[in-house]
Chain A
């Protein structure tokens, strides 16, 4: 009797140890940040591209939260990116150029759109859900296109003036400030996302992805949790959009179109879904390759990206991250 009791306690302790181990930082996780800071010194002429890459990583990371963890297949994630970009952009163009608050307002606006649209859209599933997300993004695209007076319509939003960050760091023409600004924001958002994913809330999302029926059965509030992560992810996407708007000082209709949603999906797939780090691999790979190839001929670029996409889906499940993980013989953890 006594013996049984102690084994039970041992098992419990092992479980707790396992759960807290999952949360602990591994040294490998520092790699992207080391690489990002190294890139600053190695490629000082590419900082503008670098800042864009960092902001896009954040966007793709937010997509990974809904797609990879909660299993919500969306084709309209650009909606939130666009709302964030336009909000931050319009603030700056109308005389409030303070970057950090602009970014926060962009994030909040995107979250609000995420909350409202999610409350409607997430009632459906499968193909219908896909269509609904697509339609939400298309609606916002039309709005931005038609509200010419506020958004500049097809000409894009111009005349943004950014104030220095905290009144000291001025946005310079070489993109030094922009790069570090994006890096810091990405780091903060990543830390938040990592916490969410490893929390019990994050685990329950994985549960919803793997088996909705069972999660319902054990009494998890599935709908509310999905909506919560959708909103959180929308906020991150909005911040990413705001970053792009502030660093490039231009917002075009392109931030809202289907292509941007699709590209984000592609970058995530190249990197690996549901790993939190897929974005850190996929986005630089994609954007650097695009920068190189597009100089030669944009049409060829489409061919290669299409081919690699088909190849990844059919032969290389799990993207780059999945392949690396398989090479080192680790099982699929999340």
Chain B
């Protein structure tokens, strides 16, 4: 579910805007760092810390979008890959400088720790909370992109940029908003998932391949896609590791390759 939370944001930037944003994990990482340090050092309540982390990351992403990302819209994929990779390195260094190389501990608030009894068996409350969050988010996002004016504008601008501009859509503001949305989602995912995907300095680099796999399999620009892909990856990863532990993550990669050959644009990709 954490994978989904982070990847759906990436699907928004990468799929809707067509920008290969490898630095997406960096936004998630910064979100995670902000929240954990706010909570453990300054004793800020959970919800407030979460909101603050997401808001700060959105601000950072807006600045970066204006300064750097904007120049490469519609450009070469290679340039996008390289620039965002540069951003990953910068983020690694900055995070090490500010927070040091130690993994940040994450304690869920008392109300969310412990176990929850659902009648037939008990679950860790925090994980249940994560799953509920994910479900709420997928619904909200889907409604936003499919049912509102904003969503329609985004889809129009992606399908035909010039036409969208011609009919008076402010595409540069639209893209900035979309990008901020994507990064905000990343921060949310990074912060919420800090318990499961530990926040370390190399977070953005180590988890990059998982995020990318989820987005690529799920299909670009789709909201449902990453949801199912994250489920698929999560379930099959556990299953394969159970059946053939000596092969580890090998199957996941093989599966990804096979799926991408079958559906080059992802299972739920738009053509």
Contacts and interface: CB of A to CB of B under 8 A. Distances in A.
A146 B212 CA distance: 23
A212 interface: no
B85 interface: yes
Contact of A310 (B83, B208, B256, B257): B83
Contacts of A75: 81
Interface stretch (A31-39, A137-145, A196-204, A283-291): A137-145
B82 A265 contact: yes
A273 B213 CA distance: 27
A318 to B, nearest CB: 11
Interface stretch (A12-20, A87-95, A299-307): A299-307
B45 interface: no
Contact of B250 (A132, A134, A146, A273): A146
Q: How large is the interface on A (under 10, 10 to 19, 20 to 34, 35 or more residues)?
A: 35 or more
A128 B20 CA distance: 11
B163 interface: no
B94 interface: yes
A104 to B, nearest CB: 28
A45 B94 CA distance: 34
B264 interface: yes
A120 interface: yes
A142 B252 CA distance: 10
Nearest to A127: B20
Interface string B249-271: 11001101100110011000000
Interface string A246-276: 0000000000001100100110010001000
Interface stretch (B55-63, B72-80, B110-118, B187-195): B72-80
Contacts of A300: 93, 97
B82 A309 contact: yes
Question: Is chain A's interface secondary structure helix, strand, loop, or mixed overall?
Answer: helix
Given A139-B254, A142-B253, A131 B261 contact: no
Nearest to B266: A128
A273 to B, nearest CB: 8
A83 B234 CA distance: 29
A258 B72 contact: no
A304 B92 CA distance: 11
A306 B82 contact: no
B96 A299 contact: yes
B92 A123 contact: no
B86 A128 contact: no
Contacts of A314: 68, 71-72, 83
B228 interface: no
Nearest to B250: A142
Nearest to A138: B253
Contacts of B254: 139
A189 interface: no
Contacts of B71: 314
A73 interface: yes
Nearest to A269: B82
Nearest to A273: B78
Q: Which 3 A-B pairs have the closest CB atoms?
A: A306-B89, A309-B86, A303-B93
27 contacts: A75-B81, A130-B20, A130-B81, A131-B212, A135-B213, A135-B260, A138-B249, A142-B250, A142-B253, A259-B205, A262-B85, A266-B82, A299-B201, A300-B93, A301-B93, A302-B89, A302-B90, A303-B93, A305-B89, A306-B86, A306-B93, A308-B86, A309-B83, A310-B68, A310-B90, A312-B82, A313-B83
Given A135-B260, A302-B96, A313-B83, 4 more contacts: A73-B78, A123-B261, A124-B264, A135-B257
